[in-house]
Amino acid sequence: MRWSLIVPVKHLSRAKSRLAPAVGDRREDLALAIACDTVSAALLCPGVSAVFAVTEDPRAGAELAELGAVVVGGEPGTGLNPALAHGAAVARRRLPGSGVCALSADLPALRPEELERVLAAAAGHGRSFLPDAPGVGTTLLAAAPGHPLAPAFEGASRARHLSGGTRELVVPGAASVRRDVDTPEDLRAAVALGVGPRTRELWELVGGGLCPQNTP
């Protein structure tokens, strides 16, 4: 099975607010770098037919399109899950034979081969998801052709996806697909795994502000 990935990218003015105390006025740049590294890695995954980036931010849209993503505008404006459902609908119209997979936009250490393992595991189920590294949230939600995506992201989404009957994936060697970034601690953990080039460049500029003693 091949997959259309739906990657939601917030307007940069609202993205990664919990990183602001540590990175200051580079917050928007860092948020964009993380999204670009995520999309770049996803596009290198053999099982991915296309990446659909759902965003209303013109700067993010332009840079993601340059990387090869299909930029989807016209978000319903009612939050992350409606935006993902909107992106999935567009993807299914364009590539009806592919499964659809919602992927977090903040996976700067993402490795194509690890994503491929997860997508291969997802191909055995109608609907499935991968929990984040702490085991509370979700970084990936997959729906095979003929199955609804029905995203329930944000907060304790692992429990919501489980209660909705979605199969939880257990995939060894997929740490980079589970390591999303919301806090300075998350970013340090992602850097330890090995982040993409754009995130690495920003890390080298602001990493001193992310030392434990300087983190609020």
Per-residue pLDDT tens digits for 139-159: 999 999 999 999 999 999 999
Tell whether 128 is covered by a domain: yes
Tell whether 110 is covered by a domain: yes
Q: Minimal CA–CA distance to 4: which of 69, 75, 76?
A: 69
Tell whether 211 is covered by a domain: no
Per-residue pLDDT tens digits for 15-71: 999 998 888 899 999 999 999 999 999 999 999 999 999 999 999 999 999 999 999
Per-residue pLDDT tens digits for 185-195: 999 999 999 99
- Looking at residue 139, its pLDDT comes to 98
Tell whether 213 is covered by a domain: no
Tell whether 154 is covered by a domain: yes
Mean pLDDT of the chain: 94
Quick check: 138 and 131 in contact, CB under 8 A? yes
The annotation status of 17 as a binding-site residue, yes or no, is no
Helices marked H in 44-110? 58-67, 80-94
pTM strictly above 0.85:
yes
Structural domain range at position 101 = 3-206
Tell whether 215 is covered by a domain: no
Q: Minimal CA–CA distance to 145: which of 102, 95, 90?
A: 95
Tell whether 98 is covered by a domain: yes
CATH number at residue 125: 3.90.550.10
- Looking at residue 160, its pLDDT comes to 97
The annotation status of 215 as a binding-site residue, yes or no, is no
- What is the residue whose two structure tokens read 């460049």? 201
Tell whether 145 is covered by a domain: yes
Structure tokens at 28: 């928007």
Overall number of domains in the chain: 1
